[in-house]
Structure 1
């Protein structure tokens, strides 16, 4: 490895960054997908626009952010005591009453008064007992494969007992310019740097221990730590489900098409009732070079030239001119058993192949499993899988087969208001809601294709093409799904889509272009996740509350906080929805945040801000523990617009930026977020 260039320390930059996401996020996360024509060329209907309105108080808001103040937001009205407690609206769960964290551009994690937080684990911290200590200047692939990986997105937490637990963390992608001094692109990068980046992908399992009976958790650093594990871009994976063994999955290294190497660009995920993690392979397209020019590769955004990462320089399987089927082995939901460190992770082909944000499951009325999934691309779709077999509590071997047989669906949505009432400005129709009905269109079961011209395996490998053909509804970067543990309703984060034109607006697309994103609520018919029809509502249309085109489920907007680019979702045990963001610096001029909002009762729509993350970081995770004493969040890519030589963030330790996982808790022992 060449001698590292000296690094110059500098203070974090103050102020927002251009665009919704930063240029570095676009480059490293998705290979600048939004700067290329959308892969979806179908004539299918659209879903989910947000008007690119001009914020009425943008300049005042920016001034408040830089100074850490709040005058422009009318924060006196944000006091819990000031909210409308009018009669006639039920109040089924505790209402969040913590004091809002105000919008800011500070290089730190901020939590409400009465709370504390702790950095649990950072990029490079030892995971395996024989891992070396992190050495920023002299990192090696061998060391990185035993240490905590880079950008941390989804987190899952499994309790072992009252005092111990296992934390799973996705490592979505790498920011090489922050990792290596002197990095200028994959074509010229030192080969060891590329190997380090590959080892920094995947995921980590680490054991945690509770601190003094509080909501604080810390990394276990002594002893054998038998559960600790690293999953990387080179870890063996079993390919399961109906597509396993198909000729499109066979390679020179795996002529049977049943054993893949590695998982990449793991974004969101979920935990199953049988104690495993489901992790989504999202922007896998950017790691490959030399794709043939055909319908299948263009629909997934694959490049016929060379990618910026140039992994093909150290592993030829990423050169599709030499190994054309290798890319077909990525883009799945992968399942990992954190309780068995010797188990082989599995790629579940029955859940389809696309840019999976993640998967979250709900049990049907008769005990089967429904998995909800979003395809994170402009103008792409939302999906559902329903298993054939029923979940059996305590039967791990049986439950590990549930995701291999069943039916895969894609959604079509329709509004219920006259077209002339939806003018693209975000003005509500006469019935007072953006709402309508929907249908789950079957794509295939494990034994039968319902798409003309596609076999079962072809539906599962070329899922986007199959969904195009049945007329699914185009959506605006559908990301995380989360079922409510209280009502069973299912929620989806639609992050944004500034490419949507105003004329493409309809009821489920109330504004165009969509700069700020929105939330979708799905109510399955009969309250059964096995249903093939549903109703839907858009309860939150994001943006500045003072913008007339925003909507917070009808709640008084003078008493809510701003939100943009909703990304990951979770629920607490009381049924309140937690929303993390990815893009507020560019769209609203403030650091990304973690928000909490009731979705039932008279305070439905009263959105509050629980936390903010450091400069240029994205708020990932989040997860509220079952006892509601802890919130885990994972700020990834702090200081993303800087370099190793000139960092724009020094979080968390004051020397160079390190993606990390944080826990927050109430110092008085109260449930978090209440």
Structure 2
């Protein structure tokens, strides 16, 4: 996700490779909604759902799949302050911000007035739950009743985090805010009363902006990563703005650093930010309101110009070994990471698909140099340090190519600002600019079809700037100007092989509101309406689960009027049918998708319930919008993880 006070109002990409509208045919926006639905309008409409039947991957993969039939009745739109699921399902809170993670001898209780200390917060679940994954216990098993949840904590609302919010600002408050970022690893187990957190747990762990991490891969040790505190350029303190996620076949967790730039300030002699971090990553003369640099000089980019380079990576964590150090994998590139979905090639090499969540940014793929070893977990310890990084170019005829980001290729040389592969990776966005990648409408989560590892989907949340004066216009892959509602795109790798360097693509669905005044804002959804798709994941049965992140400044207003709170929906890609499965409390985002191996339990995160338009609460009235999950007994709304099961114990969704 991207918060408006951080990056939604910022566009960092002013490179010349703007859009297909400049190099090929322009998509006709006059295509009618009927034509959008059928794919029979102007030439570009053929790239919409139904336009490329070969992307119905079962046939391409040589498999015959039975059409899916969703087994639940769609629920209605809601503006209630609760979590609602279909009849026959139940939702139970299993973990919330401030709950003890379960470290033996250190399990502080949450104080409803926000008065927990920074040290207590380091033993409690962080704030603003986001991406997550379920890891069965013991390792290597398919247990669906016992496991670990690794949960991201994206950012903080300092109006809720401290008793008086930001009225006074101290080093202690900065430390607590840093402690509330990162990742929690908790142990959960199913018993007669449903799912419960195991307390204490030998696996319990909190990783935060204060946790020592290691830098690895081609950029590790590079001069651009060296600081006075770490002249080696191989050790960094902390991870932050942990948004979406991924996981590996060898049982590790990938947490993705997204809007890290909003924590830094850069005051130069002329009071203007300097360098590539200012131009392409958005490090400015003011931060996003976190105010960390006032008490932690690490976040003053003028004093520590290389410190920003140490953030914006994919971080690998071993949830089964709580003493292991998180590792930032530099080979996977540095940008505002949104997820890292894995596909396994026939030769067992792994491809990780990653979005860069900002308007007019890119979609990337990283392919490991070696296959993963299914028999020897330790042999995969450094698998993510060697491989090839690519960026996507979507052509107007429905074809696409992966452009290699390797030093010495495609003009990625010292003469063009890339002296070696390490520098290229620190400047990944600039390298993608140089090779001519396609500017997209905020690429967020990616997911892989479980029945064909060569078919990948990506949410493009929205882009209200497309087509405005001085901004790139619509193109085939991003066909709407002022794209308020977003869309979902998919591509099929050549030969159904994730390591391929070419693909075919089409648009799965254009989100929208049936009651919108303008035709292009109505979209082409077959079923229940939604806007701003964000979280995205296939389950093993082939249901595509979609989660929305309509910002609080937009929710139920103007073009989004009457669309209710954020929601989670199920889609059958074979038919395009969409049904609403879950709605969240007021002011929240729905995010995080994690299934147990038997798919009879689904974990979902409720992020920032009660968030106001300003995105920071008034500590004098913290429950003005929401009191979820504690209601009258609570002192403030709290992000949390809910576990969803069927009353009859059946498989979710069917």
TM-score range, shorter chain: 0.7 to 0.9
1:115 matched residue in structure 2: 89
Task: Give the Cα–Cα distance (whole angstroms) in 1 for the partners of residues 29 and 590 of structure 2.
Answer: 23
Query: Which 10-residue stretch deviates more, 42-51 or 161-170?
Result: 42-51
Q: 2:15 aligns with which of 39, 42, 63?
A: 42
Kept in 2: contact 1:52–1:514 (CA 8 A): no
2:42 matched residue in structure 1: none
For residues 506-525 of structure 1, what are the structure 2 equivalents within 5 Å?
A: 506-525=475-494
1:266 matched residue in structure 2: 242
Kept in 2: contact 1:52–1:498 (CA 8 A): no
2:546 matched residue in structure 1: 579
2:599 matched residue in structure 1: 628
1:477 matched residue in structure 2: 442
Q: CA deviation at 1:498?
A: 0.3
Q: CA RMSD in A?
A: 2.4
Task: Give the Cα–Cα distance (whole angstroms) in 2 for the partners of residues 552 and 96 of structure 1.
Answer: 22
Task: Give the Cα–Cα distance (whole angstroms) in 2 for the partners of residues 119 and 482 of structure 1.
Answer: 26
1:330 equivalenced with 2:296 (yes/no) = no
Task: Give the Cα–Cα distance (whole angstroms) in 2 for the partners of residues 191 and 252 of structure 1.
Answer: 21
SS in 1 for 2:626: coil
Task: Give the Cα–Cα distance (whole angstroms) in 2 for the partners of residues 50 and 306 of structure 1.
Answer: 37
> Structure 1 residues 51 and 277 mapped into 2: Cα distance closer, same or farther (>3 Å)?
farther
SS in 1 for 2:504: strand
Q: CA deviation at 1:193?
A: 1.9
Q: 1:168 aligns with which of 150, 154, 163?
A: 150
Q: 2:198 aligns with which of 215, 220, 231?
A: 220
2:179 matched residue in structure 1: 199
Q: Deviations over 1:608-652 (max 9, x none)?
A: 011001000000102232211011110110001143322210000
Q: TM-score, normalised by structure 2?
A: 0.85
> Structure 1 residues 451 and 482 mapped into 2: Cα distance closer, same or farther (>3 Å)?
same
1:135 matched residue in structure 2: 111
Query: Which 10-residue stretch deviates more, 504-513 or 561-570?
Result: 504-513
1:490 matched residue in structure 2: 456
SS in 2 for 1:134: coil
1:452 matched residue in structure 2: 413
Kept in 2: contact 1:100–1:610 (CA 8 A): yes
Q: Deviations over 1:311-370 (max 9, x none)?
A: 123321111111111110000000000001111110000000000012111111211010
Kept in 2: contact 1:50–1:518 (CA 8 A): no
1:465 matched residue in structure 2: 430
Q: Deviations over 1:285-334 (max 9, x none)?
A: 01111254123422100013455211123321111111111110000000
1:644 equivalenced with 2:644 (yes/no) = no
Kept in 2: contact 1:274–1:399 (CA 8 A): yes
Give unpaired runs (5+ residues) of structure 2.
Answer: 34-63, 138-142, 268-272
For residues 342-353 of structure 1, what are the structure 2 equivalents within 5 Å?
A: 342-353=323-334
1:357 equivalenced with 2:338 (yes/no) = yes
For residues 177-576 of structure 1, what are the structure 2 equivalents within 5 Å?
A: 177-184=159-166, 188-212=168-192, 216-221=194-199, 224-290=200-266, 292-416=273-397, 436-444=398-406, 451-453=412-414, 454=418, 455-488=420-453, 489-501=455-467, 504-545=473-514, 548-549=519-520, 557=526, 560-576=527-543
Task: Give the Cα–Cα distance (whole angstroms) in 2 for the partners of residues 144 and 483 of structure 1.
Answer: 35
Q: TM-score, normalised by structure 1?
A: 0.82
Q: CA deviation at 1:487?
A: 2.4
> Structure 1 residues 162 and 156 mapped into 2: Cα distance closer, same or farther (>3 Å)?
closer
SS in 2 for 1:357: strand
Q: CA deviation at 1:456?
A: 0.5
SS in 2 for 1:192: helix
Kept in 2: contact 1:93–1:574 (CA 8 A): no
Task: Give the Cα–Cα distance (whole angstroms) in 1 for the partners of residues 189 and 28 of structure 2.
Answer: 46
Task: Give the Cα–Cα distance (whole angstroms) in 1 for the partners of residues 367 and 577 of structure 2.
Answer: 33
SS in 2 for 1:607: strand
Task: Give the Cα–Cα distance (whole angstroms) in 2 for the partners of residues 181 and 134 of structure 1.
Answer: 13
1:155 matched residue in structure 2: 132
Higher relative contact order (CA 8 A, sep 6+): 1
Query: Which 10-residue stretch deviates more, 623-632 or 496-505?
Result: 496-505
Q: Deviations over 1:204-263 (max 9, x none)?
A: 000000133x9x422112xx4100100010101110000000000001111000011100
Q: CA deviation at 1:394?
A: 2.5
SS in 1 for 2:175: helix
Q: Deviations over 1:3-50 (max 9, x none)?
A: xxxxxxxxxxxxxxxxx99xxx422xxx2x2223x1101111437999
> Structure 1 residues 139 and 525 mapped into 2: Cα distance closer, same or farther (>3 Å)?
same
Task: Give the Cα–Cα distance (whole angstroms) in 1 for the partners of residues 379 and 20 of structure 2.
Answer: 37
Task: Give the Cα–Cα distance (whole angstroms) in 1 for the partners of residues 277 and 96 of structure 2.
Answer: 38
Q: CA deviation at 1:531?
A: 0.3
Task: Give the Cα–Cα distance (whole angstroms) in 1 for the partners of residues 222 and 202 of structure 2.
Answer: 36
Q: CA deviation at 1:175?
A: 0.6
> Structure 1 residues 623 and 46 mapped into 2: Cα distance closer, same or farther (>3 Å)?
farther
2:651 matched residue in structure 1: 671
Q: CA deviation at 1:552?
A: 7.7
Q: Deviations over 1:80-129 (max 9, x none)?
A: xxxxxxxxxx8624321311111010000000001111000011001123
Task: Give the Cα–Cα distance (whole angstroms) in 1 for the partners of residues 306 and 475 of structure 2.
Answer: 39
2:48 matched residue in structure 1: none
1:612 matched residue in structure 2: 583
SS in 1 for 2:351: strand
